Amino acid sequence: MSRLPASEALARFKVLDLTRVRAGPTCVRQLADWGADVIKIEMPEGNVGGDMGGPRHGPDFQNLHRNKRSITLDLKQPEGAEIFRKMVRGADVVVENFRPDVKAKLGIDYESLRQINPRIVYGSISGFGQDGPYRENPGFDQIAQGMGGLMSITGLPGQGPVRVGIAINDTSAGILLANGIVLALLARERTGEGQWVHTSLLEAQIFMLDFQASRYTMKGEVAKQEGNFHPTSPGTGMFQTADGYINIAASGDNLWKRFCEVAGDKELATHPDFATVPLRAKNRAALIAHLNDLVRSKPSAYWVEALNKAGVPCGPINTIDQVFADPQVQHLKIRRPVDHPTLGSFDIIGQPIHMSAFSQPERLRPTPDQGQHTDEVLRELGYDAAAITALHAKGAV
The Cα 147–Cα 158 span in angstroms is: 19
Which residue out of 37, 101, 170, 375 is catalytically annotated? 170
- Decide if 96 contacts 103 (C-beta within 8 A): yes
Amino acid at 316: P
The closest of 365, 341, 348, 335 to 66, measured between CA atoms, is: 365
170 is known as an active-site residue: yes
CB 125 within 8 A of CB 54: no
Beta strands in the chain (DSSP E): 14-17, 37-42, 69-72, 93-96, 121-126, 196-200, 236-240, 245-249, 314-316, 335-340, 344-349
37-42 and 69-72 beta bridge pairing: parallel
Pairing of strands 93-96, 335-340: unpaired
> Closest Cα partner for 340 from 8, 7, 59?
59
Q: How far apart are CA 111 and CA 109, in angstroms?
A: 6
- Strand spans (E) along 274-330: 314-316
Residues noted as catalytic:
170
